[in-house]
Amino acid sequence: MSAKTITIIKPDDWHLHFRDNGMLLETVPATARCFSRAIVMPNLVPPVVNAEMALSYRERILSARPNGSTFEPLMTLYLTDKTTPADIRAAKKAGIVAVKLYPAGATTNSDAGVNALDTLYPVFEEIATQNMRLLIHGEVTSKDIDIFDREKVFIDRYLCHLTRQIPELKFVFEHITTSDAVDFVLESSANVAATITPQHLLMNRNDMLDGGIRPHNYCLPVLKRSSHQLALRKAVQSGSKKFFLGSDSAPHEKNKKESSCGCAGCYSAWSALELYVQVFEELGALDKLENFTSRNGPDFYGLPYNKEQVTLVRKEWQVPESIVLPDGERIVPFYAGQTLQWQIAN
Ligand code: DOR
Ligand code: ZN
């Protein structure tokens, strides 16, 4: 008999994009619906490069919470070539928990990111000293490297060296997409963990390219071939403590996705938790769900588990075709128009 309800510790989302200003009135309530905390990406325009900017961004997020919500944003700092160890100390004092490394040009609003990773080792040392976490978008940006190989090449060029040089640095290899990344994380020490998105567990590159280009399934790192998808599914099925929930929910307006040069990102806040449940059920691994959604992340960050719980019921419902923003613009959510099997009970 398959379960009709599932009750778990209320999850956290260890990687997402809220954006800013008017968009927050959509994104913050959508996430607060099912997550107690979230690691908030700093790739705004301009990027969140110091403690002061992070604190004022935090205030804007808090103001967008629904009445009575206790949702807690966990703030991050955007690393640039100019970030100093003093910036890291100031960030720690301001309550910022993590520092985000975007290789310059790797993805949305990453132009101010890092050009020479090797020159930032003193900053990485300080991140370790301050017991903060480094969050790594692990793709090389060289145009001569095939886009499907950029994660593997990043491991070989940078991550192997980083783990050898600063073994005490706790870092998250974010939104991993390949068997190479799974193997790297499993072979590394307990200081290395990874987040995995719903789209990379549910899809492979055929779901983006077969029968027509599907821009709403386009994200970065790009979906890979099915053998990599299977490796990710095995990783979560294994119950390893090194993997945890990070939706990478990343809204872009409909016209910016459905374009001759469409933006990368899947806006999954409306369905992410339900889709993870679906994946764990398909894998016969519902007993591993709660650690992935609600314990492995806090353990890696040294934070307490949430006290609240959330219940999901087996009930069909349809993800909306589109969502209208306060300014009238539209967003097409991930899995738009599709029927899901699990729903959060109110
Ligand atoms: O698909 C993505 N969208 N990947 C990223 O790394 C960034 C994100 C965004 O900000 O839109
Ligand atoms: Zn992201």
In the chain, the domains with their CATH numbers are 12-307 (3.20.20.140)
The residue to which tokens 């790594």 are assigned: 136
The answer to whether 235 touches 221, Cβ cutoff 8 Å, is no
pLDDT tens, position by position, for the chain (346 residues)? 578 999 999 999 999 999 999 999 999 999 999 999 999 999 999 999 999 999 999 999 999 999 999 999 999 999 999 999 999 999 999 999 999 999 999 999 999 999 999 999 999 999 999 999 999 999 999 999 999 999 999 999 999 999 999 999 999 999 999 999 999 999 999 999 999 999 999 999 999 999 999 999 999 999 999 999 999 999 999 999 999 999 999 999 999 999 999 999 999 999 999 999 999 999 999 999 999 999 999 999 999 999 999 999 999 999 999 999 988 999 999 999 999 999 999 7
Residue (of 182, 216, 206) closest to 338 by Cα position = 216
SS3 263: coil
Whether omega before 11 lies within 30 degrees of 0, making that bond cis, reads no
Tell me if residue 156 is catalytic.
no
* pTM over cut 0.95: yes
Dist. CA 249 → ligand 1 center (Å): 8
Which secondary structure element, helix H or strand E, spans residue 39, and what is its range? strand 37-40
Residue 120 in tokens: 């930032």
Out of 13, 87, 180, 248, the active site residue is 248
Q: Is 17 in the pocket of ligand 1 (CB under 6 A)?
A: yes
Helices (H) and strands (E) in the chain, counts: 14, 13
Enumerate the H helices of 42-108 as residue ranges: 51-63, 85-93
